[in-house]
Structure 1
């Protein structure tokens, strides 16, 4: 099992079969001003257009732009409806500003290894369900209550699956893909890239209710350490963001469908409802989940053989 992604060579007539997705940033236009312009487009689509869509959802459900008066269905849509616009901003920036294929945000190969995405999903789901869900129940059984309205859960589940897939994939394309590639133009050092991605991922999540409820411990473990740092490191090790895409989806979909707790960003009719948010347990359990996940991802599962590289027309571009 290889932990190190073998670097290839870029350019006309050269081998790129083993190139990493970070190197793929140089297959298009990559001067600094392009990343600044790309970021402006992405932030406009995410924060301005996406927020406008959220306000429209609030008006549609309650007649006023107030998140707190919405029912669970409305609150979920309010939070999630901006992500398709966020995704559109990322795709526009990469294709029009950087003039390269959006696939290069994930891999330098010609197609995504959905097998590896699935491995990430399974490798994270197993310890999360055992430690994060079952373990929490064993420690705090009195705070758990079963949601008897299974009809509402069944109706809500398809919506949650679709929007969660859009949300987590978009965040991976941006934070693990675009941000890491942009930072690599400044300094292609793995420690630097991991820290930059972790910090930038943490910043917008500071406004989440969990950050306020759980304090610095939740901010460090739930945002900086796990999704920010660990998921970036495995992406740099693999040379693709495939594993992280599967992990992120597993993390959020299980969080949404398994447990609904007060003080969380999204309220959904999950299978179980908690009477309180156990911030300390959630934070400390991450320290147990991480090594189990790494053992499954790199000892149990094996990486696929590299597929064909992205076509030459998508590899070459001036700065």
Structure 2
């Protein structure tokens, strides 16, 4: 019987020569420290270079509304840079090895993008949809004007997360341990834990569970494809929909065209929302798998 995870061996191969656990621990510490250092330096540089009035406008624009969401999303770029630097410094590997073979990654990414977008269109068109819970978010004209920048911002955010979780962590763990519990489940659980939202109280567990399931699906696609592209595309479509089309979180929905009326503190509503997300994730994961078989 053919091993569906055979491409994982090629994807993990660059990590094997320097797969010591101490390097992984040091690498995670270096990535966090370097990202925070760059973020702090960026803020200090902006304050030093901009005139007082200009810096005040910059601070106001990035503290609320669409500017705040863009600021958060682009901020993940520091973690992306830090992860690429870590792969080079601590593991003596070319940063591109975190992605996989570039040509294959592009081909797989295009296939998965087409499949997942077609699925999304079908899901939007299929009845019955109750639109009564939707209310207008950002007005259409500013939404359309910000859309190109917002798409780039989402791409930066999801690429940073995938390069770290399904690239760096998955590869380094798979180079040491063959069992999927180590390279698939463990990074996904960490991914879920980092999505904890204390403001949701006991309901935060559902959000963490949803993120963990997504991590497992993304890791599965990475192992089946041998590149990071399918996971990046799946993550991009998922987050672009949540940030730019319909958002359930008002504080992070400033870029969304619509907001959905849902009380995230209500266990019943939260479970229903997570169930819908899980169903869409399952369909998207299956669509990506079908696209990768071509």
- Do both share a fold (TM > 0.5)? yes
**In structure 2, do the counterparts of structure 1 residues 34 and 148 end up closer, same or farther at CA, with 3 Å as the change threshold?**
closer
RMSD value over aligned CA atoms? Answer: 3.4
Q: CA contact under 8 A between 1:75 and 1:267: conserved in structure 2?
A: no
More helix by share: 2
TM-score (norm 1): 0.75
Match of 1:49 in 2: 38
1:230 aligns with 2:217: yes
Q: How does 1:170-209 map to 2 (within 5 A)?
A: 170-207=160-197
Contact 1:95–1:102 (8 Å) recurs in 2? yes
Q: Distance in 2 between matches of 1:156 and 1:33?
A: 43
SS state of the match for residue 240, structure 1? coil
Once the two structures are superposed, what CA deviation does each residue of 1:243-269 show, in whole Å capped at 9, x if it has no partner? 1011111111122221133355x2323
Corresponding residue of 1:284: 275
Partners of 2:230 and 2:92 lie apart in 1 by 25
Gaps of 5+ in 1: 8-17, 305-319
Rounded Cα–Cα distance in structure 2 between residues aligned with 1:232 and 1:213: 27
Aligned residues: 282
Which structure carries more relative contact order (alpha carbon 8 Å, separation 6+)? 1
Question: Among 235, 243, 267, which residue is 1:256 paired with?
Answer: 243
Q: 1:136 to 1:87 in 2, by over 3 A?
A: farther
- In 1, the alpha carbon distance for the partners of 2:202 and 2:127 equals 17
Pairing partner for 1:81 from 64, 74, 77: 74
Alpha-carbon spacing, 1:96–1:262, altered in 2? closer, same or farther (3 Å): closer
Length-normalised TM-score, structure 2? 0.80
Distance 1:44 1:137 in 2: 49
CA contact (8 A) 2:30 2:86 kept: yes
- Structure 2: gaps spanning 5 or more residues: 48-53, 264-268
